[in-house]
Amino acid sequence: VCDNPLVAKSTARTKTATGNGSAGKGRPSKRRDDEVLEAAARIFYERGYADTSVQDIADDLGILKGSLYHYIDTKEDLLFRLLDGTHADVHQILKEVDAEEGLGPLEALELYVTRQLEYNIDHFQNVSVYYHDFERLGEERQKKILARRKEHQRWVTERIDEAQKAGLAQDAIDPAIAGRCIFATIIWTYRWFRPGRDRKDLVVESCTAFAMRGVIGDV
Amino acid sequence: VCDNPLVAKSTARTKTATGNGSAGKGRPSKRRDDEVLEAAARIFYERGYADTSVQDIADDLGILKGSLYHYIDTKEDLLFRLLDGTHADVHQILKEVDAEEGLGPLEALELYVTRQLEYNIDHFQNVSVYYHDFERLGEERQKKILARRKEHQRWVTERIDEAQKAGLAQDAIDPAIAGRCIFATIIWTYRWFRPGRDRKDLVVESCTAFAMRGVIGDV
Amino acid sequence: VCDNPLVAKSTARTKTATGNGSAGKGRPSKRRDDEVLEAAARIFYERGYADTSVQDIADDLGILKGSLYHYIDTKEDLLFRLLDGTHADVHQILKEVDAEEGLGPLEALELYVTRQLEYNIDHFQNVSVYYHDFERLGEERQKKILARRKEHQRWVTERIDEAQKAGLAQDAIDPAIAGRCIFATIIWTYRWFRPGRDRKDLVVESCTAFAMRGVIGDV
Amino acid sequence: VCDNPLVAKSTARTKTATGNGSAGKGRPSKRRDDEVLEAAARIFYERGYADTSVQDIADDLGILKGSLYHYIDTKEDLLFRLLDGTHADVHQILKEVDAEEGLGPLEALELYVTRQLEYNIDHFQNVSVYYHDFERLGEERQKKILARRKEHQRWVTERIDEAQKAGLAQDAIDPAIAGRCIFATIIWTYRWFRPGRDRKDLVVESCTAFAMRGVIGDV
DNA sequence: CATGAATGAGCATTCATTCAT
DNA sequence: CATGAATGAATGCTCATTCAT
């Protein structure tokens, strides 16, 4: 259904999401900084945020607990950078699909679903942390991310609504509920997809088809 | 589509599913014991298992932390009883649907989906804890539950397979993947359903339809 | 000059200065609670607040660091209870002197100075902590105490002013500055008085005389 | 009473009072070295020695923590240089007053008090650190300073004693105690004098008068 | 049954100090 | 001279769990 690699590049982020405000701490090289983030992602995925100690991460990096604080401000900070990065990626996909011209509502939706599935599967560890430990963030930071989450919900709902009004999709289902089901199909992959056992292209295609059928119905 | 109240009764569990291991502790009255479990469910849902202290639960019950240990052995024990109870309920649904006679594969599947959706929506707090904090259980206990989880996967996959072979469902999709998508649709409700905002019957019906369409396709 | 033991009793305080709000912590017996406060006072005096670890206090009490948290909420909390208690005592003296009837401004002032000197000498450890570590309190708590500190300044200044206007004291000195010098004379004792080496009654009498002469001058 | 600017010059010190112990460290330019000391004085005054981190001082200087160690050996070292410098100044005053010829005991005392008051007011930040954080020095260094402190006590006590024996001061008060009260009057200014609110010359004159009256009495 | 004092291990975080580059 | 990464020990605090009364 879809092969153009819009998403592939979007992995380049993590930017300066930190804010980097603190004086006299001379942010370390991006290289090492990313290694830290990577290690955290892996370990948070394996043990969960709450059950991961700063020690665990330091151990994994082969440095002392105290040394880790050269790269992070707090443990929560690390989580935020992770989730914020993941969210930025996911948001990027929405932007790119939305910018694509000449697509009908169903085509746009299908492209969106495909891309998100690909991303989720490629980064299921990050996605897992995203959905498991989002609540461990402080309120402020949760809101910051939640705001952007709603954009996705709105965008998908609108595409379904358009399609229904254009007679392209059966209209017995509430577009908002259909949207929720689509997200379910996309997101849930992080709980069951296992590289090696499951083939990515097959899963992406099958899940996209499942979701689209659920929306379109027998028009 | 479905009105028979098979599920309603199944809330009565929590029994002695635990095995009630501890020697000579003179289990307290079932009444109070259930109150403890209920409080734990609510607070685990709100704060997450790892971020909930035994103190929090004791506070909620209006007793002292030390006193709580009359009702529980360990904190993990509490979690297990909770998850085990939830799982027993869910399993009960599978049993009941499977026992229903005279149903074709798609009819059985639809009944199953509907029942599970109803249960999930009625007990979304328990379900939430189930999916968030399952990993906090010790390995032994995880396996105990996981085994039964696979039964569900198998049963659903088999129904889809049957339907495909009988020409009742389009067969372009791998039954196992379709099964995953169905579970996604069912389970994910715990992340978005909010009583008050969403109407249960509408959601159950819509999600069931979404899932079934995804399986059946345009045969 | 002054012998009535108004002050002696005022050591009974520490009341419920804590607020004692937290649920389910069942404040421990006043007995032990006071022992904790006493130990803290002694050690804060010896090492200073910042250089005293919670461990130090626990060691002194013969319990574990963690156990100490049965009696305190935070380390700062302990400091506050100490300072607040000391302040309450000192304030009590002002109240009592102020309530004394039939005293001229100089008599009242002299009584006040004497009482404060007695208190400072009897509790020079607490007073020392009060003046050394006051700034370690959070802003809120500092203000709470500072407000009452000004009352003393005002009261003393007013007595001097009255005396000057009545021709009982030379009026070349600004009452506010004279007040500061009186406080200096009173408070500084905590830095040099050592029981054993110095005799309390002699010191109280001498310092009172010194301060009063400084105010009255050669009228 | 006193106008000769004996003290004014004495601010130039900090010399190599330290002994400059460290081997082969090639002391940096006096300029920069003094800036470091100044910054430390200010920050120690604001936050207290214990609550000031080496980082804080480095930040203030606009260099990195590690770089600061080009100018200091240890944090305590910095404190010592500060206190030692202040103490050298104060000692200088004693020397100068003592060298003044043709002064009676009371005149000498009055000159001393005036000078000390002027110094304390001009350098109340240093004085504040001196009295707050002296105890943070190691034992050796404390003794080194304490020895010279006693010289002041002795000198003042002797002047009072002389005056009493010469009938210039009432002799009901123990000269040692009177001396303590004089120090109280001088030193305490660092706790209340605020430039802007208080006028230096007025304060110096008033406090000197207060102290002298306390000693002389109504002879 | 309930209390509340105590345990002991663990955790996030800070910080003075060192040193290779 | 300056950097910045790393050290290692300490600190305040939390918490599941136990147990004598």
* pLDDT tens digits, C61-85: 999 999 999 999 999 999 999 999 9
**D175 touches D76 (CB < 8 A):** no
Residues 6+ apart with CB under 8 A from C178: C157, C160, C214, C215, D206, D210
Mean predicted confidence (pLDDT) in A62-90: 94
SS3 state of residue B65? helix
Cα–Cα dist B37/B11, whole Å:
13
Integer angstrom CA distances of residue C49 from C42, C52, C57, D15: 10, 5, 11, 32
Q: Considering only the beta carbons, identify the residue of B183, B203, B215 that sits closest to A177.
A: B203
Cα–Cα dist D119/D6, whole Å:
11
**B27 touches B70 (CB < 8 A):** no
Interchain proximity C189–D180, CB inside 8 Å: yes
Instruction: Calculate Rg over the CA atoms of chain C.
Output: 19
Which 16-55 positions of D have CB less than 7 A from strand F?
26, 28-29, 32
Spatial distance from the CA of C65 to the C1' of E7 (Å): 10
Spatial distance from the CA of B51 to the C1' of F15 (Å): 11
pLDDT band at residue A28 under the 50/70/90 scheme: low
Kindly tell me the sign of the dihedral angle through the C-alpha atoms of C82, C83, C86, C87: negative
Q: Per-residue pLDDT for A2 more than 80?
A: no
**A194 touches A125 (CB < 8 A):** no
B9: number of Cβ within 10 Å: 10
Mean predicted confidence (pLDDT) in D16-39: 63
What is the pLDDT, as a whole number, of residue C25?
47
Question: Which pTM was predicted?
Answer: 0.82
pLDDT band at residue C118 under the 50/70/90 scheme: very high
pLDDT band at residue C103 under the 50/70/90 scheme: very high
pLDDT band at residue B140 under the 50/70/90 scheme: confident
What does chain D look like in DSSP terms, one character per residue? Answer: -----TTGGGG---SSTT----TT-----HHHHHHHHHHHHHHHHHH-STT--HHHHHHHHTS-HHHHTTT-S-HHHHHHHHHHHHHHHHHHHHHHHHH--S--HHHHHHHHHHHHHHHHHHTHHHHHHHHHHGGGS-HHHHHHHHHHHHHHHHHHHHHHHHHHHTTSS--SS-HHHHHHHHHHHHHTHHHH--BTTB-HHHHHHHHHHHHHHHHH---
Q: Could you tell me the two tokens for B176?
A: 């196992």
DSSP, res B198: B
Mean predicted confidence (pLDDT) in C1-7: 35
Cα–Cα dist A184/A181, whole Å:
5
Q: Considering only the beta carbons, identify the residue of D48, D181, D218 that sits closest to C218.
A: D218
Q: What angle do CA A165, A171, A174 make, to 5 degrees?
A: 105
Nearest to D90 by CA among D63, D57, D113: D113
Cα–Cα dist A36/A72, whole Å:
9
Q: Per-residue pLDDT for B158 more than 50?
A: yes
What is the pLDDT, as a whole number, of residue A38?
93
Shortest CA to C1' contact from A52: nucleotide: E11
Cα–Cα dist D69/D83, whole Å:
19
Cα–Cα dist D217/D16, whole Å:
44
SS3 state of residue A198? strand
Q: Per-residue pLDDT for B14 more than 60?
A: no
What is the pLDDT, as a whole number, of residue D23?
37
What is the pLDDT, as a whole number, of residue C19?
38
Query: Where is average pLDDT lowest: A146-150, B66-70, D16-20, D148-152?
Result: D16-20
Instruction: Calculate Rg over the CA atoms of chain D.
Output: 19
Nearest to C148 by CA among C93, C212, C110: C93
Interchain proximity B59–C23, CB inside 8 Å: yes
DSSP, res A136: G
**D117 touches D210 (CB < 8 A):** no
Cα–Cα dist C59/C7, whole Å:
33
Shortest CA to C1' contact from A58: nucleotide: F6
A23: chain D residues, CB-CB within 8 Å = 59
Q: Could you tell me the two tokens for D68?
A: 């600061």
Mean predicted confidence (pLDDT) in D11-39: 58
What is the pLDDT, as a whole number, of residue B27?
56
pLDDT, tens digit, 9 for 90 and up, residues C106-116: 999 999 999 99
Q: Could you tell me the two tokens for C72?
A: 């305190």
**Which CA-bearing residue is nearest the C1' of E6?**
C67
Integer angstrom CA distances of residue C21 from C25, C68, D73: 9, 18, 47
**A79 touches A37 (CB < 8 A):** no
Percent of chain C with pLDDT over 90: 78
**D17 touches D91 (CB < 8 A):** no
Mean predicted confidence (pLDDT) in B73-95: 94
Nearest to D7 by CA among D79, D83, D127, D88: D88
Alpha helices in chain C, H assignment, sequence order: 30-47, 54-61, 65-68, 75-99, 105-122, 124-133, 139-165, 175-187, 189-192, 200-216
Nearest to D131 by CA among C201, C190, B30, B189: C190
Integer angstrom CA distances of residue C84 from A25, C70, C148: 38, 20, 11
Q: Considering only the beta carbons, identify the residue of B132, B178, B210 that sits closest to A181.
A: B210
Cα–Cα dist D131/D45, whole Å:
11
Kindly tell me the sign of the dihedral angle through the C-alpha atoms of A115, A116, A119, A120: negative
The number of CA neighbours under 13 Å toward the Cβ of A126 is 21
Spatial distance from the CA of D76 to the C1' of E8 (Å): 34
Mean pLDDT, chain D, rounded, equals 87
Spatial distance from the CA of D45 to the C1' of F9 (Å): 27
Nearest to C189 by CA among C126, C121, C142: C121
Q: Per-residue pLDDT for A98 more than 80?
A: yes
A213: chain B residues, CB-CB within 8 Å = 213-214, 216-218
Cα–Cα dist B163/B172, whole Å:
12
More confident residue, A29 or A51: A51
A81: number of Cβ within 10 Å: 21
SS3 state of residue A128? helix
CA B116 to chain centre: 8
Cα–Cα dist D91/D119, whole Å:
11
As a whole number of angstroms, the longest Cα–Cα distance in chain D is 62
Mean predicted confidence (pLDDT) in D130-148: 90
CA C201 to chain centre: 18
pLDDT band at residue A53 under the 50/70/90 scheme: very high
Cα–Cα dist B203/B118, whole Å:
9
With residue A44 as reference, give the H or E element that holds it: helix A30-47
SS3 state of residue A174? coil
Q: Considering only the beta carbons, identify the residue of B172, B207, B218 that sits closest to A218.
A: B218
Mean predicted confidence (pLDDT) in B94-121: 97
The number of CA neighbours under 13 Å toward the Cβ of D8 is 5
Mean pLDDT, chain C, rounded, equals 87
Cα–Cα dist D134/C19, whole Å:
35
A180: chain B residues, CB-CB within 8 Å = 188-189, 192
Cα–Cα dist D137/D132, whole Å:
11
What is the pLDDT, as a whole number, of residue D27?
55
More confident residue, C39 or C217: C39
Cα–Cα dist D43/D118, whole Å:
22
What is the pLDDT, as a whole number, of residue B10?
38
Chains touching A (at least 3 CB pairs under 8 A) are B, D
Give yes or no for CB of B55 within 7 Å of strand F.
yes
Integer angstrom CA distances of residue B198 from A148, B113, B152, B190, B203: 22, 18, 27, 12, 7
Q: Per-residue pLDDT for D25 more than 60?
A: no
SS3 state of residue A57? helix
Mean pLDDT, chain A, rounded, equals 87
Residue identified by tokens 């520490």 is C14
